Amino acid sequence: MTIFLPQYFELLKTKVLTIAGLTSVTPSDCKTISVLVFNKTKQSLSETTLKRVFGFAHSKFNPSLFTIDVMAKFCGYAGWDDFCENQGAATASKADSKTSGNNWSTLKLNADKITSFTLQALKNKSGIPYNLTIKREFANHHLDSFLSGGYTATALCAPAGYGKTLALCHWIEERMRGNAKNQNNDIILFFSSSALMNVFLSGRNISDWILGLLGYSADDDIASLFDITQRKSGNFFLVLDGLDEFAYKPDQFQLLLNQITDIFSLYRNTPWFKLVLTMRSVTWINNMYEFKYEEEKWFKGFIQDTENPAINVPLFSVGEIKELCYNINPNIQNFLAIELSNNFNHPLYFQFYYKEHKNNFSLNNIDHVCIYELISTFILNKVYLGHYSTDKLILLKMLTDLMDMQKGIYDVPKIKFNAAIKQYPNAYQELLSVGFIREFNYSTDLNYNTVIKFGNSNFLQYILTKALLTENDFVFDAKLIANINNTVKDDNKTFIIKWSVLYAFKTGQQSNFKYLINANLTPAEKSDLVMFMGDLLEKSRMQSTGVESIAQYFKHSSNDDLFNYFVGIELIGPDYKKVIETLLRFDLPDHKKIILHVLLACASFTQLDMASVNQCINALKAMPAKGFVKFALNPINCIETLADFLKTGVVKKDFFVEITKFYFKPSLYVTGSDNPRANEVLYLLAASSILICQKPLKILRFLRSLEKVYQAPDEQSTPYSFVIKVLKHGTYYLLNDGLNLYRMYKKILSLHERQEAQFTPYMKGLLLSVKVKMALFESDFDKVPSLYRKMIEINQTALDKLTLLFTGMSIIYTSGLNESNPAFYKQVVYDNNKSLREAGIRLDLSASPDVVIGA
């Protein structure tokens, strides 16, 4: 088998330059080398290929066998294999000329062969092609700290699928390239623990076996073979991948561990001997006592005071996800939102996603549902399939029964679960080995306290959902939702509902989605669920089969309540636009299409996407007139008034005539609409539109007239009442009415203090705008920059550029702030002008104090 050896490839490149008569190489030299290679070998290597070889052009792959064969032939060898054999022979000959016995150079040669074979075998097992995988920054940091600290041994510990092995392979390759470039003089003996099975079958000692691999007899001692003058500053690395107890019988593993600790003990004071292991966290937890007596020589690298103290291999960072995506497909331009990437950072999840989309890899298929499907795939492969799958399910059921969902107690004392462990020991070890469950020892000198937890919140939420579904005969209905409401009282509730919804979708129970309206969720939780449902409905619409198409789903009045569940100003954000666009693909009655286009226009306004606003206006104008009968006010007038003002500065008088009629005789505009959520959206849109009239008393009269025609179901806590309070606060700010301004501010703060966790990103942005106005009103200019920066941070999630723009105008128009903090003032002016320019809004909008600043 031909193996690509990076250390020999570096030597081959040097020889090519020597044969070509070059002491160094530039991009232009590649064309010359191409011609020389063809003249000598009659085989062609293009200039581009040679640029990749010498590092002048990006390459995702190792050079092909043809390329390295032709390069070797150019240097006078029969091919790559012949070149490698000659290099090995030359190294051995050089070593023999120095000493009649084995020495550092021959040892390195023999170790390189074994290590290269191991690398190739592990690369071939990579779920993502190895040439597309990335170096992990943590590996360099961990192993550099290990080498610089005078330690003898270290271990990379993490559950299955964290990328320990591939990270180690990249580090070893880099180290071997350093050997080839004479940057170091290391011997690296690397093999997988599966190779140790030969030791047990033959009955040999591990130390003797290793000596045999390197060409020595059992009577030799490694220490006596090393020539310090040849070794120079080199290290001997004994690297063992996959030292895990689940792979062996208990007595075999104990024997293996004893022999490895013996090797460690023998060379613990030898500065050039380094032992590197990879193992699963459970192996470290169960056997760390073996190393306690010499732990000052062990570099552990665990992050203290974390939920997982036996893990020193982190999950992917956002930067690593981007790098990996670019390696797979350099044409990728869009990347994950932060909240999605945080759920997509498990290397094994990424591998499952790659396998599903490898033929046309992109991030377009990643949505709020994708991570749940990846977790399901993980559980299928690691829990439901393989050995002891039935025992594992029984064991998980027994574990869940010992939890208390109502009190949020999910840690199970091991002493209570010990009987189950003894009954299903193999299943328990399997679940521990893949990281599905973990043990945590919090014992003290007075108390034994070892608890069992799920590996992460995703696994916990999945199993809790299965328990609740089992109790309800796997039916998604009102009873299930009521049980979730009564049983789950913590942050897991939304996730359990989403898992239940996904199960209903997979089992053809979409008609029961209507029961979701009974879920007691906060606005923030509801927003999360709505985004998830939007992605799921899109998948459902695309995959629909059966008598009745899912495209007809929202056409029927029986699903009106669920449709209304998707309607709300507080949900506004970039993902919400996607949900609305999905719903618009359904076969809907006209009045439902109208409210969706209104919501889409509102979301587009907040993002300053004027092109999308115009599309919404055109779509609304194309709707039949009878579709608008159910609405108290004509939404087209509201949207056009705002759009025209932003684009041209012209204020439509017809709209304000309609508004004036409304607040003088609001009872005439009550339509008896069966969609209060739609009316809320329309009232808030009208209230926002009227702000441009520059008459605060008129605005206030309109807001008060709304109170006569519509009362929110829970006036103290609904997002609608919160936004109304924010609008009133802005009106009092324009009136310079300090008494009412403070009164309204206290109401807003009181609402936030009671329900801070319930606020959606859009609501948080509005709250910060209120705080900025209060700081400006009180001339407390020192507070303004930090509040404004928080708004910018929130804006990255909510994408509410409109609120940020108008808040910036409030700052710009406040006298005294320019003198107090000129640098900050200039930055706000720059930000506002940039937003206006990018949105195509008239640039003088922020230049005149006549513009409304109360939005």
**pLDDT digits over 367-393, tens only?**
788 888 888 988 998 899 878 899 999
Identify whether the C-beta of residue 532 lies closer than 8 Å to the C-beta of residue 498.
yes
Interior/surface letters 141-151, b for 16+ CB within 10 angstroms, e for the rest: ebbeebeeeeb
pLDDT for the residue numbered 307: 58
CA 248 to chain centre: 35
Q: DSSP label at 188?
A: E
CB atoms inside a 10 Å sphere around CB 397: 14
Q: Assess whether pLDDT exceeds 70 at residue 495.
A: yes
What is the model's pLDDT at position 178? Answer: 83
Residue with tokens 């009181």: 750
Is 712-855 the same fold as 114-314?
Answer: no
Q: Residue 493 has what pLDDT?
A: 93
Q: How far is CA 179 from the centre of its chain?
A: 36
- Which of 120-134, 547-561, 718-732, 806-820 is the least confident region? 547-561
Please say if the pLDDT value at position 322 is more than 80.
yes
Helix (H) or strand (E) holding 92: helix 80-98
Query: What type of residue sits at position 47?
Result: E
Tell me the range of 349-358, 584-593, 782-791, 793-802 where mean pLDDT is highest.
782-791
- With contact defined as beta carbons under 8 Å apart, do 684 and 723 qualify? yes
Rounded to an integer, what distance in angstroms lies between the CA atom of residue 655 and that of residue 705? 16
Contacts of range 86-92, beta carbons closer than 8 Å, 24 or more positions apart: 87/8, 87/11, 88/113
Largest CA distance in the chain: 110
What is the DSSP annotation of 615-674? HHHHHHHTS-GGGGTT-SS-HHHHHHHHHHHHHH----HHHHHHHHHHHHSGGGG----S
Q: How far is the C-alpha of 799 from the C-alpha of 723, rounded, in Å? A: 17
Binned at pLDDT 50, 70 and 90, residue 847 comes out as very low
Among 118, 215, 93, 219, smallest CA distance to 168 is for 118
528/394 Cα distance (integer angstroms)? 32
The conformational region for residue 672 under phi > 0 = left, psi -120 to 50 = alpha, else beta, is left
In angstroms, rounded to a whole number, what is the distance separating the alpha carbons of residues 576 and 530? 8
- Of 612, 616, 566, 614, the C-alpha closest to 586 is 566
Residue ranges in 424-573 assigned as alpha helix (H) = 425-433, 457-471, 478-487, 492-506, 523-543, 560-565
pLDDT at 143 over 80: yes
Q: How confident is the model at residue 14 (pLDDT cuts 50, 70, 90)?
A: confident
Q: Give the bridge partners for 409, in sequence order.
A: 404
CA-CA distance, 542 to 544, in Å (whole number)? 6
For the chain, give the mean pLDDT.
82
pLDDT band at 311 (very low <50, low <70, confident <90, very high): confident
Architecture per CATH, domain 114-314, reads as 3-Layer(aba) Sandwich (3.40)
Region 316-330: what's the mean pLDDT? 85
Alpha helices in 509-559 (DSSP H): 523-543
Q: What is the pLDDT of residues 632-670, one digit of tens each?
A: 778 888 888 888 888 877 777 777 777 877 777 766 665
**How many helices and strands, by DSSP H and E, does the chain display?**
40, 8
The structure tokens listed for 764 are 């948080």
Tokens of 745: 């501010």
Mean pLDDT of 294-305: 78
Going by pLDDT thresholds of 50, 70 and 90, the confidence category of residue 545 is: very low
pLDDT at 223: 54
Residue 276: its H or E element:
strand 273-279
Helix 653-664, helix 635-648: angle, nearest 10: 140
CB 305 within 8 A of CB 267: no
Comparing 627 with 70, the larger pLDDT belongs to: 70
Number of Cβ within 10 Å of residue 127's Cβ equals 15
The answer to whether 86 touches 77, Cβ cutoff 8 Å, is yes
Quote the pLDDT of residue 61. 64
Cα-based distances in Å from 604 to 188, 598, 704, 726: 59, 10, 27, 20
Specify the range with the lowest mean pLDDT, choosing from 206-220, 290-304, 346-360, 652-666.
206-220
In the chain, the percentage of residues whose pLDDT exceeds 90 is: 22
The whole-number average pLDDT for the span 105-134 is 84
**pLDDT confidence bin for 546, thresholds 50/70/90:** very low
Q: What is the pLDDT of residue 848?
A: 45
CATH of domain 712-855: 1.25.40
Tell me the pLDDT tens digit for each residue of 459-476. 999 999 999 999 999 999
Q: What is the pTM of this model?
A: 0.73
Q: Is the pLDDT of residue 1 over 50?
A: no
Q: Residue 566: is its pLDDT beyond 80?
A: yes
- Identify the three-state secondary structure at position 332: coil
Q: How far apart are CA 565 and CA 591, in angstroms?
A: 15
Ramachandran area for residue 306 (φ above 0: left; ψ -120 to 50: alpha; else beta)? beta
The amino acid occupying position 524 is: A
pLDDT band at 141 (very low <50, low <70, confident <90, very high): very high
Q: Which of 107-111, 389-393, 476-480, 721-725 has the weakest average pLDDT?
A: 107-111
Residue 786 CB coordination number (10 Å): 10
pLDDT band at 851 (very low <50, low <70, confident <90, very high): very low
Q: Which DSSP string do the residues of 725-739 spell out, in sequence order?
A: HHHHHHHHHHHT-HH
Q: Indicate the helix (H) or strand (E) that contains 598.
A: helix 590-606
pLDDT of residue 547: 36
**Average pLDDT estimate for 777-784:** 92
Taking the C-alpha atoms of residue 375 and residue 429, their distance in angstroms, rounded to an integer, is 20
Which alpha helices (H) appear in 132-225, and where do they start and end? 137-148, 164-180, 197-202, 206-213, 222-225
How far apart CA 829 and CA 246 sit, in angstroms, is: 63
Rounded mean pLDDT, 48-63: 75
Quickly count: other Cβ atoms within 10 Å of residue 837's Cβ: 10
Find the mean pLDDT for residues 717-729: 85
- In 3D space, the residue among 636, 578, 643 whose CA is nearest the CA of residue 605 turns out to be 643
Residue type, 612: S
At residue 485, the pLDDT reads: 93
Mean pLDDT within 262-291: 85
Domain boundaries, the chain: 1-98, 114-314, 712-855
Query: What 3-state class would DSSP assign to 550?
Result: helix
Instruction: Find the mean pLDDT for residues 171-189.
Output: 85
Q: Distances from the Cα of 235 to the Cαs of 213, 480, 772, in angstroms?
A: 18, 62, 61
Q: Is 95's pLDDT higher than 50?
A: no
**Which range among 486-500, 511-525, 684-698, 809-823 has the greatest average pLDDT?**
486-500
pLDDT score of 293: 64
